[in-house]
């Protein structure tokens, strides 16, 4: 993976507000710590998205305060102490809401763009 | 959703260290992953850190996301402010004490206002409760009805009122004896539904049966007032069912009224309640109480039906009033019948009653507010002086990036803390003050409530005063301190003080001088008025007279027995050695009790706005005018020959002669007395019109109150107008105290159970609310506020002038070095003080003139614009103010030019 650093400039900056959605989506697969979430977002997006790891934590904090995720300290697969996040039921509902909103948004934008191309 | 909010609100705050630990753990995990991919540890660390980005930024964002940021700043501010206050304990102590005095004065006066006017009546649905009044054909208002009126109104107003109840208060004291020991008790006679209408629940036992209060056959039962139960029965729960004697008649205690319920009036504490039926058994109500239409001192309370407005009830009452007064034109000569909301003040009351106390409270709230303002100005001045000293501190903090709002908040926190310290002290001072007010001896047996407890309203008021104080005191210095040009301050030495700040401080001092002068003038007026009142020619001589009030009615005597007893007592007392004269009177001058009567005088037409001729009266025994040393100007005094069976006579005062017989000789003239309650033959329902002959004219005397004008007053023979209680008055050349046991012994040898009270000299008896007491309280309060204001002003002026002078030390040094004379310097510094004091005095005089009308209500014998008071107060204040200027001016004069120039 030596190409990673050269590719940094080509990656997509996250749209405002989408990080929350990605975090929630990632956690639906099970509880995860911050570094794992960052990794998962990058891998699942085929390394297309640029997630500054530092930005992740205030976002996690915000989601936690809203009650959408909960956190507790535990040990990682390789026996490291880490703070694990998991979705709450409120978070699940929020994810559903946000996902449908996102789908409608992208669909609408897609339609506009296609009509102009065509 | 709310549950979530709730949960989040109370969730434990996540610590910053925990957040940091999480970041560290992230970096370590990332490092490990990278190492697994084959990077060296150093490379892995660098890459992990780079991927993370700015750690501090993340931490800051975490920090700002916390809910308690505001409180973080706040606790910082508080800690810093506490440190600043601790660092200058002298400043803190003086400022807090100053504010404590101001807040204390306000709290004390407010506690009085609160308990008299603001504390809600403990009755249920007080907002639906109304009191009834009527307007007489002549125009004056009254709220005294007969029992028949009450019944008629109750029966005819069911559409608008859910309940109509009535009570008869303050008819006089009753005597309650338990186990042979007799105590006076003020009882209220009430309709059966009284407690139900008020929505009260007994503290103990039961209330009077709702069905009772309609005839003399009522069960002889008594409900005790809560306070009386506590003080006279030691709050004994076994009191229920106990049999006691009221005026010699056996009654059973069945209940205790709830705590906090004094009476419908906030001023009185009724001590017992009995049904109307008992009024003619235990009390002296006439036998025809239930049938007569003569006003019998009954107050009517009506509870509005749900949904009925006051104005709807009003129109229903108008109809009832018209109907009743056309049905009974002689007795119910009402022009209209009215209802008004229950409150501490009745709009139809005698303006000299509670209203005057309310007005006095308003005046003193205003004056204490002024004292607090003066205290604020003083502390603001101190803070301004400190602000100049801290100019550099503020500038430095602003330079390193503190926002102006943050600095203002910091300074305001300091002044608010000071104010809260002052508030704590103020509550303590206020308690002392209100205890003093509550311990005042009103010199009456009437059960006035003078219990100025501090409730939450008083505390809230003190707190609000403190917060307001903190803001007033802090905002100007805070804004000034932060609105500075950083460059100016950081580049120059501390010498420069902007002229604008000087002007601000001068304005503060002018306000101080003006405010305290106004206080001094008011204090002077009150003190002069008290002196005038004390030395006023009363028209009688209160010295060397001793009073003993006796109540034959409480002892269980009927009228005939009472007359015999008094006659017997009088002749025995006259035989005692050292007695010059002895006499009896129903009314003691300046006491609360007093009677007036409606008169019909041939040839006299009452003025348009007056209903009928009325005169106050006293019933007295022979020798009364000799005991009181009231000169008979014409005709004769009341003699032994004026008996129950002889022709009715009256001695009238000059004012009455002038009012009713302005152009002829009143001696030998006859007039009719209309509201005569007592009739020798007793139980007739017809109103008796007595024909009375004027036999003498007595000099005008100030017997009702200290007001300037004399009202018609007449003296009737006690033999023809039997009243109880009466006061035995004895004039003697002996020391008054030595006579006391002798007379008491004599009374009790004639009747062991005779209650004797108000044993005091006639001079002491003048210290009542209608008498001197209001003047005394006013003078004491106003004088203490005036002195407080004076002290505050002196300190304030001294502080400002000395501070300015010391800031001008450098300039003064230059002037001296350039050849200015020391006298010039003195003149310069004093000149500044003179100007400020001069303007302040002018402002103070104008302010005092502005409230002169309000103050005038409480003055006697002194004009509220009395030039002597204005002049002497101004001179006193100016002298003290100038002295406060002189000290720093002298110091400035002595400045050594070399020292001053080298300064800094």
List pLDDT tens digits, range B842-876: 999 999 999 888 888 888 788 888 999 999 999 99
Q: Are B81 and B412 in contact (CB under 8 A)?
A: no
Q: Are B551 and B758 in contact (CB under 8 A)?
A: no
- Concatenate the DSSP letters of all residues of B708-775 into one string: SS---EEEEETTTS--SSEEEEEEESS-HHHHHHHHHHHHHHH-TT--EEEEEETTGGG-SIIIIIHH
Among the partner-chain residues B28, B37, B51, the one whose CB lies closest to the CB of A80 is B28
The pLDDT value recorded for residue B642 is: 92
Kindly report, residue by residue over B695-753, the tens digit of the pLDDT.
Answer: 999 999 888 877 767 889 999 999 988 888 899 999 998 888 888 888 988 998 998 87
Kindly report, residue by residue over B51-66, the tens digit of the pLDDT.
Answer: 888 788 777 777 666 5
Output the six-digit token pair for B640: 């032994």
Among the partner-chain residues B28, B33, B62, the one whose CB lies closest to the CB of A57 is B62
Percent of chain A with pLDDT over 90: 19
| Contact (CB<8Å) B29/A5 | no
Within-domain flag for A3? no
Q: Flag whether pLDDT at B485 surpasses 80.
A: no
| Contact (CB<8Å) A57/B58 | yes
Among the partner-chain residues A39, A65, A81, the one whose CB lies closest to the CB of B25 is A81
- By C-alpha distance, the chain A residue nearest B4 is A67
Picking from A66-70, B104-108, B377-381, B672-676, which range would have the lowest pLDDT averaged per residue? B672-676
Among the partner-chain residues B14, B52, B65, the one whose CB lies closest to the CB of A53 is B52
CA angle B737, B739, B743 (to 5 degrees): 130
Please check whether residue B685 touches A, CB under 8 A. Answer: no
Query: What does the pLDDT average to over B550-557?
Result: 82
Please check whether residue B39 touches A, CB under 8 A. Answer: no
Query: What does the pLDDT average to over B821-831?
Result: 81
The pLDDT value recorded for residue B5 is: 46
Query: What does the pLDDT average to over B879-888?
Result: 84
pLDDT: which is higher, B686 or B398: B398
Which residues of chain A have a CB within 8 Å of the CB of B28? Answer: 80
pTM higher than 0.80: no
pLDDT: which is higher, B702 or B389: B702
> Which of B587, B594, B571 minimizes the C-alpha distance to B628?
B587
For residue B594, report the phi and psi dihedrals to the nearest 5 degrees: 180, 155
Please check whether residue B32 touches A, CB under 8 A. Answer: yes
Query: What does the pLDDT average to over B437-447?
Result: 74
CA angle B878, B879, B881 (to 5 degrees): 60
Name residues 41-60 of chain B within 8 A of A (Cβ): 47, 51-55, 57-58
Please check whether residue B26 touches A, CB under 8 A. Answer: yes
Cβ neighbors of B541 (< 8 A, separation 6 or more) are B628, B629
Distance (Å) from the alpha carbon of A83 to chain B's nearest alpha carbon = 6
Q: Flag whether pLDDT at B173 surpasses 80.
A: no
Per-residue pLDDT band at B680 (split at 50, 70, 90): very low
Average pLDDT, chain B: 82
Instruction: Describe the crossing of helices B69-87 and B89-113 by its angle, rounded to 10 degrees.
Output: 110
Distance (Å) from the alpha carbon of B15 to chain A's nearest alpha carbon = 12
Please check whether residue B30 touches A, CB under 8 A. Answer: yes
Report which DSSP code applies to B687: P
pLDDT: which is higher, B175 or B518: B518
CATH code for position A51: 1.10.10.10
Say how far apart CA B300 and CA B613 lie, in whole Å: 26
Q: How many beta-carbon pairs under 8 angstroms link A with B?
A: 69
Which of A53, A66, A74 to mutate against chain B (most B CBs within 10 Å)?
Answer: A53
Among the partner-chain residues A55, A67, A78, the one whose CB lies closest to the CB of B53 is A55
- What's the structural domain count of chain A? 1
Say how far apart CA B384 and CA B699 lie, in whole Å: 63
Query: What does the pLDDT average to over B563-590?
Result: 91
Which of B2, B23, B51 to mutate against chain A (most A CBs within 10 Å)?
Answer: B51
Give the alpha-carbon dihedral of B792, B797, B799, B805, to 10 degrees: 180
A 10 A CB-CB count for B794 gives 18
| Contact (CB<8Å) B54/A54 | yes
| Contact (CB<8Å) B33/A35 | yes
Picking from B171-185, B241-255, B869-883, which range would have the lowest pLDDT averaged per residue? B171-185
Within-domain flag for A106? yes
Output the six-digit token pair for B787: 């002195």
Within-domain flag for A5? no
Per-residue pLDDT band at B682 (split at 50, 70, 90): very low
| Burial of B553 (C-beta count, 10 Å sphere; 0-12/13-18/19+) | buried
Query: What does the pLDDT average to over B193-200?
Result: 88
| Contact (CB<8Å) A53/B26 | yes
pLDDT: which is higher, B69 or B189: B189
Output the six-digit token pair for B363: 């005046």
Which residues of chain A have a CB within 8 Å of the CB of B21? Answer: 83
Say how far apart CA B83 and CA B79 lie, in whole Å: 6
Query: Which whole-number Å values give the CA distances from A50 to A16, A28, B687, B845, in the listed order?
Result: 13, 21, 106, 78
Say how far apart CA B782 and CA B452 lie, in whole Å: 19
Q: Is B115 helix (H, G, I), strand (E, B) or coil?
A: helix
| Contact (CB<8Å) A52/B53 | yes
Cα B883 from chain centre: 37
- By C-alpha distance, the chain B residue nearest A83 is B22
The pLDDT value recorded for residue A5 is: 44
Kindly report, residue by residue over B634-674, the tens digit of the pLDDT.
Answer: 999 999 999 988 999 999 999 999 989 988 899 999 998 86
| Contact (CB<8Å) A83/B25 | yes
pLDDT: which is higher, B148 or A49: B148
Kindly report, residue by residue over B344-370, the tens digit of the pLDDT.
Answer: 666 555 545 567 778 888 888 999 999
Which residues of chain B have a CB within 8 Å of the CB of A83? Answer: 21-22, 25
Say how far apart CA B900 and CA B449 lie, in whole Å: 64
Which residues of chain A have a CB within 8 Å of the CB of B55? Answer: 54
Within-domain flag for A6? no
Within-domain flag for A4? no
Please check whether residue B20 touches A, CB under 8 A. Answer: no
Please check whether residue B819 touches A, CB under 8 A. Answer: no
Percent of chain B with pLDDT over 70: 87
| Contact (CB<8Å) B28/A66 | no
Distance (Å) from the alpha carbon of B42 to chain A's nearest alpha carbon = 16
Among the partner-chain residues A33, A58, A81, the one whose CB lies closest to the CB of B62 is A58
Say how far apart CA B699 and CA B705 lie, in whole Å: 16
| Residues comprising chain A, all counted | 118
Within-domain flag for A26? yes
Say how far apart CA B736 and CA B545 lie, in whole Å: 8
Picking from B14-18, B35-39, B64-68, B615-619, which range would have the lowest pLDDT averaged per residue? B64-68
Report which DSSP code applies to B114: I
| Contact (CB<8Å) A82/B54 | no
Please check whether residue B63 touches A, CB under 8 A. Answer: no
- By C-alpha distance, the chain A residue nearest B37 is A1
Within-domain flag for A9? no
Distance (Å) from the alpha carbon of B5 to chain A's nearest alpha carbon = 8
Kindly report, residue by residue over B245-282, the tens digit of the pLDDT.
Answer: 887 788 899 999 988 787 776 677 888 898 888 877 76
Kindly report, residue by residue over B305-345, the tens digit of the pLDDT.
Answer: 888 888 888 888 888 888 888 887 766 667 778 787 776 66
Q: What is chain B's alpha carbon radius of gyration, rounded to the nearest angstrom?
A: 37
Output the six-digit token pair for B748: 């009790």
Give the alpha-carbon dihedral of B316, B319, B320, B326, to 10 degrees: 170
Query: Which whole-number Å values give the CA distances from B830 to B398, B718, B797, B817, B827, in the listed order?
Result: 37, 71, 12, 20, 5
Q: Flag whether pLDDT at B489 surpasses 60.
A: no
Which of B52, B59, B60, B67 to mutate against chain A (most A CBs within 10 Å)?
Answer: B52
pLDDT: which is higher, B736 or B424: B424
| Contact (CB<8Å) B53/A82 | no
Which residues of chain A have a CB within 8 Å of the CB of B52? Answer: 52-54
Q: Flag whether pLDDT at B450 surpasses 60.
A: yes
Residue in the block written with tokens 């004012």: B655
| Contact (CB<8Å) B19/A61 | yes
Which residues of chain B have a CB within 8 Å of the CB of A52? Answer: 51-53
Average pLDDT, chain A: 82
Distance (Å) from the alpha carbon of B71 to chain A's nearest alpha carbon = 18
Please check whether residue B602 touches A, CB under 8 A. Answer: no
Among the partner-chain residues B8, B54, B65, the one whose CB lies closest to the CB of A61 is B65
Query: What does the pLDDT average to over B826-841?
Result: 84
Among the partner-chain residues B7, B23, B51, the one whose CB lies closest to the CB of A57 is B23
Which DSSP helix (H) or strand (E) runs through B851? none
- Concatenate the DSSP letters of all residues of B6-42 into one string: HHHHHSPPPPHHHHHHHHHHHHHHHHHHHHHTT--HH
Distance (Å) from the alpha carbon of A22 to chain B's nearest alpha carbon = 18
| Contact (CB<8Å) B29/A76 | yes
Which of B17, B21, B23, B26 to mutate against chain A (most A CBs within 10 Å)?
Answer: B26
Say how far apart CA B472 and CA B373 lie, in whole Å: 9
| Contact (CB<8Å) B25/A80 | yes
CA angle B392, B394, B397 (to 5 degrees): 110
Within-domain flag for A85? yes
| Contact (CB<8Å) A65/B65 | yes
Say how far apart CA B803 and CA B799 lie, in whole Å: 6
Say how far apart CA B389 and CA B394 lie, in whole Å: 10
Beta-bridged to residue B618, according to DSSP, are B715
Structural domain of A34: 14-117
């Amino acid at each position: 993976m030596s190409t990673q650093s050269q590719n940094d400039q080509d990656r997509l900056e996250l749209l405002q507000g989408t990080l929350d959605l990605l975090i929630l989506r990632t956690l639906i697969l099970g509880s995860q710590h911050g570094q794992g979430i960052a990794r998962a977002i990058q891998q699942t997006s085929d390394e297309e998205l640029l997630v500054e790891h530092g930005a992740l934590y205030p976002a996690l904090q915000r989601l936690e305060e809203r009650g959408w995720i909960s956190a507790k300290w535990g040990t990682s697969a390789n026996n490291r102490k880490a703070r694990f996040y998991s979705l709450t039921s409120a978070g699940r509902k929020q994810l559903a809401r946000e996902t449908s909103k996102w789908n409608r948004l992208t669909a609408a934008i897609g339609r506009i763009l296609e009509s102009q191309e065509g | 959703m709310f549950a979530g909010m709730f949960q989040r609100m109370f969730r434990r705050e996540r610590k910053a260290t925990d957040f940091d630990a999480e970041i560290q753990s992230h970096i370590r995990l990332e490092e490990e992953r990278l190492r697994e991919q084959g990077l060296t540890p150093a490379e892995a660390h660098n890459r992990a850190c780079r991927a993370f980005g700015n750690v501090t930024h993340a931490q800051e964002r975490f920090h700002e996301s916390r809910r308690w940021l505001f409180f973080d700043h706040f606790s910082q501010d508080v800690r810093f402010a506490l440190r600043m206050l601790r660092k200058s304990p002298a400043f803190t102590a003086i400022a807090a004490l100053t504010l404590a005095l101001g807040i204390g004065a306000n709290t004390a006066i407010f506690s009085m206002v609160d308990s008299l006017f603001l504390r809600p009546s403990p009755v249920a649905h007080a907002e639906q409760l109304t009191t009834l009044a009527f307007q007489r054909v002549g125009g004056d208002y009254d709220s005294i009805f007969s029992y028949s009126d009450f019944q008629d109104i109750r029966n005819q107003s069911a559409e608008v009122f859910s309940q109509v109840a009535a009570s008869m208060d303050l008819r006089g004291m009753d005597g309650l004896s338990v186990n042979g020991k007799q105590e006076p008790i003020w009882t209220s006679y009430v309709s059966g539904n009284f407690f139900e209408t008020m929505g009260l629940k007994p503290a103990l036992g039961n209330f009077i049966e709702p069905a009772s209060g309609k005839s003399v056959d009522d069960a002889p039962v008594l409900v005790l007032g809560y306070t009386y139960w506590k003080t006279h029965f030691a709050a004994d729960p076994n009191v229920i069912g106990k049999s006691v004697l009221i005026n010699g008649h056996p009654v059973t205690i069945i209940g205790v009224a709830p705590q906090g319920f004094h009476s419908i009036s906030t001023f009185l504490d009724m001590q017992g309640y009995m049904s109307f039926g008992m009024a003619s058994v235990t009390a002296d109500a006439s036998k025809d109480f239930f049938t007569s239409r003569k006003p019998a001192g009954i107050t009517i309370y009506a509870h509005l039906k749900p949904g009925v407005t006051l104005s709807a009830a009003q129109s229903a009452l108008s109809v009832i009033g018209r109907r009743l007064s056309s049905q009974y034109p002689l007795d119910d000569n009402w022009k209209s019948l009215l209802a008004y909301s229950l409150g501490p003040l009745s709009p139809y009351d005698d303006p000299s009653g509670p209203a005057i106390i309310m007005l006095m409270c308003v005046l003193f709230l205003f004056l204490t507010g002024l004292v607090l303002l003066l205290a604020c100005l003083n502390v603001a001045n101190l803070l301004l002086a400190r602000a100049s000293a801290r100019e550099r501190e503020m500038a430095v903090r602003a330079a390193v990036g503190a926002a102006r709002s943050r600095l203002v908040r910091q300074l305001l926190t300091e002044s608010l803390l000071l104010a809260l310290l002052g508030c704590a002290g103020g509550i303590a001072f206020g308690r002392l003050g209100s205890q003093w007010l509550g311990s005042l001896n009103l010199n009456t047996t009437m059960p006035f409530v003078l219990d100025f407890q501090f409730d939450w309203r008083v505390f809230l008021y003190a707190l609000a005063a403190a917060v307001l104080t903190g803001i007033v005191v802090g905002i100007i210095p805070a804004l000034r301190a932060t609105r500075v040009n950083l460059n100016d301050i950081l580049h120059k030495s501390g010498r420069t003080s902007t002229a604008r700040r000087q002007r601000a401080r001068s304005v503060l001092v002018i306000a101080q001088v003006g405010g305290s002068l106004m206080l001094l003038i008011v204090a002077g007026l009150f003190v002069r008025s008290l002196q005038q009142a004390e030395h006023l020619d009363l028209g009688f001589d209160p010295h060397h007279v001793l009073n003993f009030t006796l109540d034959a009615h409480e002892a269980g005597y009927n009228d005939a027995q009472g007359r015999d007893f008094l006659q017997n007592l009088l002749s025995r007392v006259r035989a005692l050695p050292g007695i010059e004269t002895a006499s009896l009177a129903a009314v003691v001058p300046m006491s609360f009790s007093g009677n007036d009567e409606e008169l019909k005088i041939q040839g006299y037409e009452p003025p348009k706005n007056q209903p009928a001729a009325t005169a106050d009266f006293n019933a007295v025994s022979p020798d009364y005018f000799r005991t009181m040393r009231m000169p008979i100007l014409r005709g004769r005094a009341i003699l032994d020959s004026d008996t129950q069976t002889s022709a009715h006579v009256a001695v009238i005062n000059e004012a009455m002669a002038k009012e009713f017989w302005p152009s002829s000789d009143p001696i030998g003239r006859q007039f009719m007395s209309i509201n005569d309650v007592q009739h020798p033959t007793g139980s007739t329902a017809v109103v008796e019109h007595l024909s009375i002959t004027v036999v003498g004219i007595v000099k005008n005397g100030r017997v009702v109150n200290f007001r300037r004008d004399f009202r018609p007053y007449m003296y009737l023979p006690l033999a023809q107008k039997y009243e109880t209680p009466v006061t035995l008055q004895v004039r003697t050349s002996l020391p008054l105290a030595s006579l006391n046991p002798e007379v008491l012994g004599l009374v009790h040898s004639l009747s062991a159970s005779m209650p004797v009270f108000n044993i005091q000299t006639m001079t002491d008896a003048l210290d009542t609310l209608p008498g001197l007491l209001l003047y005394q309280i006013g003078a004491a309060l106003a004088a203490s506020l005036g002195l407080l204001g004076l002290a505050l002003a002196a300190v304030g002026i001294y502080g400002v002038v000395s501070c300015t002078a010391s800031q001008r030390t450098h300039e003064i040094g230059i002037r001296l070095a350039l050849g200015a004379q020391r006298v010039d310097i003195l003149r310069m510094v004093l000149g500044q003080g003179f100007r400020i004091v001069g303007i302040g005095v002018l402002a103070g005089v104008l302010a005092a003139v502005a409230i002169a009308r309000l103050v005038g209500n409480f003055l006697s014998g002194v004009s509220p614009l009395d030039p002597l008071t204005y002049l002497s107060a101004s001179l006193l204040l100016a002298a003290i103010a100038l002295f406060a200027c002189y000290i720093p001016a002298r110091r400035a004069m002595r400045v050594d030019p070399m020292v001053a120039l080298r300064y800094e």
